[in-house]
């Protein structure tokens, strides 16, 4: 598997501001290039300074904005965000192939071809029953996710966001050089919270995830560094 698509534990910085984020990261000073996720809450309330501060400290960044709009708007947003040279940026696959192609082109035209462009298939907080009742999608959840993954690959993007449980099906249709970024990671015996399709780091490794995103199991732990190290040992071994 291409190195760009394998072996990363991403820590979700689910905090309100930069100060809280940096305070949380301080004990990780001995870890080189920690991969972190900046989501809507942190980015929209604090702006690009968050990205600059994290980059200055050597962290890799997954900018989790889940962009979803008409192709021209997504192209402009993607091109504008390219200036920050984040390591990963995501979009909603439901926006369609034309939108996804525009998203990728925006990164290229903005001068950041190295940024992994990935698409959200079905949120890990969505159950099959919800998807069918609220989105009026009649197929089963695995079929929906696999379809979105194929669409994403055809559009020229680098991978998808999906739960661990769909990872083997995505690998079947999209191959090895394709990122499968999986949230909904929980530890044995830990609470599932608002996530529906969850799995442990070890199961994620076994089923073919290339990256896992872990938030509350680390950020709410009494010893976040120890929990992070344990997750890395389980997922990266």
Is there a catalytic annotation at residue 66? yes
Q: Is 90 helix (H, G, I), strand (E, B) or coil?
A: strand
Q: Which of 16, 37, 55, 66 is catalytic?
A: 66
Look at residues 221, 214, 220 and name the one whose alpha carbon lies nearest to residue 185: 214
Q: What one-character DSSP code corresponds to residue 22?
A: H
Cα end-to-end span (Å), the chain: 15
Look at residues 142, 116, 101, 155 and name the one whose alpha carbon lies nearest to residue 6: 116
d(CA 220, CA 64): 20
- From residue 217, give the alpha-carbon distance in Å to each of 19, 147, 185, 233: 20, 30, 8, 15
Q: Other CB atoms closer than 10 Å to residue 171's CB: what's the count? A: 17
d(CA 122, CA 157): 17
Q: Other CB atoms closer than 10 Å to residue 176's CB: what's the count? A: 11
d(CA 16, CA 6): 29
Positions annotated as catalytic residues are 66
């Amino acid at each position: 598997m291409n190195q760009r698509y394998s072996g990363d534990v991403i820590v979700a910085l689910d905090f309100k501001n930069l100060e809280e984020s940096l305070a949380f990261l301080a004990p990780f000073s001995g870890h080189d290039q920690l991969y972190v996720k900046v989501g809507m809450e942190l980015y929209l309330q604090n702006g690009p300074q968050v990205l600059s501060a994290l980059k200055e400290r050597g962290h890799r960044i997954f900018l989790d904005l889940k962009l979803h709009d008409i192709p021209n708007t997504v192209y402009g947003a993607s091109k504008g965000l390219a200036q920050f040279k984040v390591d990963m940026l995501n979009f909603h696959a439901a926006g369609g192939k034309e939108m996804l192609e525009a998203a990728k082109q925006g990164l290229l035209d903005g001068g950041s071809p190295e940024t992994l462009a990935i698409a959200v298939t079905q949120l890990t907080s969505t159950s099959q029953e919800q998807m069918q009742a609220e989105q009026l999608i009649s197929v089963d959840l695995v079929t929906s996710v696999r379809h979105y993954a194929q669409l994403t690959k055809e559009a020229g993007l680098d991978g998808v966001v999906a739960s661990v449980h769909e990872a083997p099906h995505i690998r079947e249709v999209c191959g090895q050089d394709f990122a499968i970024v999986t949230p909904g990671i929980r530890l044995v015996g830990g609470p599932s919270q608002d996530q529906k399709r969850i799995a442990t780091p070890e199961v994620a490794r076994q089923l073919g995830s290339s990256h896992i995103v872990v938030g509350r199991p680390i950020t709410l732990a009494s010893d976040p560094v120890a929990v992070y190290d344990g997750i890395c040992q389980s997922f990266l071994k």
